[in-house]
Each structure stands twice: as C-alpha cells, then as structure tokens.
Amino acid sequence: MKIEETPDNFQALDTVGAVGNQPSTPEGIAALGGTEQQTAGVTQAELDRRAETETREATTEGQSLSPLQASMRRLGRDRRAMFFMALVLILIVVSYVGPLVWTRVGPTILTGAAGLDKSGPASYHNYVFEDLSRQNANSSSLHPFGTDAIGRDILARIMAGVNVSIEVALLVEIMDIGLGVTIGTLAGYYGGWLATFLDRFTDLMFAFPGLLFAILAAATLGPVFQSRLGLPGRLILVSMALGISVWPFMARLVRGQTLQLREQQFIEASRTVGSSNRHIIMSHIVPNLFNIVIVAATLDVVNTIVSEAVISLLGLGVQTPGSSLGLMINDAAAVIAVYPWEVVWPTAVLAILVLAFSFMGDGVQDAFNPRTKD
C-alpha cells in the first residue's frame, strides 16, 4: 500500500518521532541532547553520593580502623559511660588536687580546747587536725561538710578517704593483672603438666573467700605491718590480701582466650618463620588479650572499693588518724541519730564512687566486646 506524501502525512510522522523519543527535526534533536546531558549529570552526582555513603559505612563498621580504635570510638559514643568516666576523673582530681587548694583557703581562726590557739587553713583544713572547740559542728563556710566528733574537717577527710579507695584499687589491679595474665597465659599457651598444675593452683585460690581472707589477714597481720611500715602498713596489707584473692578469675578469663588465640593462623605463621614461644606470647598473645583484661579490671575496681570500705568499717583497715570512707562511717555510726550528716557525706561519696565505676565498667565492656558493632 502506498502512502501519499502530503503535508498532513509529514506532520503525523514528526509527531510519531517525538512520541518515540526519536525527533526528526533539528529542534527536537537539540532538546534531546540537553536532556541526555542533564541525565548524565544527575547520574554522576548519585554515584558520588553512593560512593561517599559506602565509605562512611565502611568506616563506621570499623573496617578501616584497628580494633582498639573501633572500641575507643564506640566508647566515645556511649554518653552514659563518658558521663560517669568524667565523674570518676573529677572525683580523682578533686581528691588529689583538692587538699592542695583546700589547705590554703580560709582565714586565721582560734582553735584548741579553750579556743585560744591561732590556726590557719593549713592546720584546720588538714584531715588529721583535731579542733576540740568545734566538735560535731554543722556545715558552715569554714567547714562545708561540718566536723566530726573530735573537730576534724569532714570534707578534708572525705578527699583523703577517696585517695585511699583509689590507691587500694590501683594496687589490687596491678596484682590482679600481673598474676592473672601471667598464670592464665602460661596455662593456656603451653598446656600439659604446666597447665594442670596452674589450673589446680587457681582452683585452690578460688576456695578462699576474698573478703574473708582479707579480713583474716588484716586482723592477724595488721598490727605487725603497721608497726613496721607505719599508717600505710595496713593499707598495703589490705591491698595485698585483696589482690591475692582476686586474680584467679582474671587467670580463668585469660586462659580461655589464650586457648583460642594459640590456634589462630597468625600464630601458626609466626611459628613457621621460627619465632620463639616467648616472642609469640609477648608480641601476639598478650596484645590480643587487651580487650578482655581491661574490661575485667575495670569491673573489679568496684568490688575492691567496696571490700576496702567494709574492712575499714570493721576497724581492720586504715586506722586513726588516717582516713577512709569506711572508717568515717564507723566513727560516725555511734552518733548517727544526733549528727546524721557525719554518716551521710561519706556514704554518699562512696555510693557515687561505686556507681560511677560500675556504669563506666559497663560502658567499657560494651565498647571492648569483640562481638559489638556500631
């Protein structure tokens, strides 16, 4: 069938070409070229955006970060953990720096039983200074937390008590990490008779209740240590007793992790190139125990602080004129009905310290858990 070439037919053909995106006129071709350029521009922008998103997701998942960097990043995102970590740091800084400032703040006043002795803040803001003219004093600008039964500044004694808690926790964790990592690593890596001996020794240490062992040691050996080493003697004894009783749990955790690590391919590769066992343990095993060790140590701090406070509360820890939160509670227990603030202040600080370390430990555990992802 022959189609007649009339002006109407040419117009219809142009219309069909426009509908099928195949323009047959110069104007249509120019318009199509502009549309293709715009489409190409949008496509390139979309590709760039997708590439940037994939890069951000890869970084978020820790694929371009080391395990330590990824853990620290997760910890930094935990607002609760960071808040309580800041609170712990504030308590530590105040307890150590605070006395240096507190003993320089205040006027010269009259002290002593008769109120005739002149004393400056270096004296009456010292945690061991006794002012019998201000026994059981209420809160004031001179003594914000008041004074105890023999006129000692409660604020100064609280700062000294926090120092004791932190120092005991530090000494205990040094022993905990030192003994736990050493024994756990040796038992898990070498196995054999050495692992059997160390495992049975660890089981034997587990049989001693930690707090009761520390109380027994403080009651029997406390006077000897205090006579030989002075007031810090009992503090050292309590730290040693708690450290000896707490390391078996750390050793068990480290042993289990070491058993897994020694079968990894990078350990086999290190053996293949002739690395010694000592080099493998120090360079490959121990560094990979960091996550589990830091989590366990942070959580153990809470038990250590509570245990030290209980021992001092029983009168077996730090002795007067030294200061401890537990000792302050013990001294004020007899007058709690008349002067309750003498018990409230050290109890509140002890509770804040324990809660702060607990929540910080939970945050550290979530951040350094290898199974945790962003």
Q: Are residues 250 and 292 in the same domain?
A: yes
Q: Are residues 56 and 78 in the same domain?
A: no
Q: Report yes or no on 357 lying in a domain.
A: yes
76: tokens are 């930094």
Res 2 pLDDT > 90: no
pLDDT at residue number 343: 94
What is the domain-level CATH number for residue 230? Answer: 1.10.3720.10
Q: Are residues 87 and 225 in the same domain?
A: yes
pLDDT at residue number 55: 53
Domain membership of residue 330 as a residue range = 69-97+152-368
Q: Report yes or no on 147 lying in a domain.
A: no
pLDDT at residue number 38: 44
Q: Give the contacts of 303 (CB within 8 A, at least 6 positions apart).
A: 210, 246
Q: Are residues 254 and 304 in the same domain?
A: yes
Q: Report yes or no on 316 lying in a domain.
A: yes
Q: Report yes or no on 232 lying in a domain.
A: yes
Q: Are residues 161 and 52 in the same domain?
A: no
Q: Are residues 82 and 42 in the same domain?
A: no
Q: Report yes or no on 18 lying in a domain.
A: yes
- pLDDT (tens digit, 9 = 90+) per residue, 134-177? 899 999 999 999 999 999 999 999 999 999 999 999 999 999 99
Q: Cα–chain-centroid distance for residue 13?
A: 79
Q: How far apart are the two ends of the chain, measured CA to CA in Å?
A: 71
Q: Are residues 168 and 42 in the same domain?
A: no
Q: Are residues 39 and 79 in the same domain?
A: no
Q: Report yes or no on 109 lying in a domain.
A: no
Res 67 pLDDT > 80: no
Q: Report yes or no on 215 lying in a domain.
A: yes
- pLDDT (tens digit, 9 = 90+) per residue, 310-361? 999 998 888 888 899 999 999 999 889 999 999 999 999 999 999 999 999 8
Q: Are residues 189 and 305 in the same domain?
A: yes
- pLDDT (tens digit, 9 = 90+) per residue, 9-53? 444 444 444 444 444 444 454 444 444 444 444 466 666 666 665
Q: Are residues 27 and 164 in the same domain?
A: no
Q: Are residues 55 and 173 in the same domain?
A: no
Q: Are residues 16 and 88 in the same domain?
A: no
Q: What percent of the chain has pLDDT over 90?
A: 44
- Best CA proximity match to 261, nearest among 283, 293, 277, 284: 284
Query: What does the mean pLDDT of the chain come to?
Result: 83
Q: Report yes or no on 124 lying in a domain.
A: no
Q: How many domains does the chain have?
A: 2
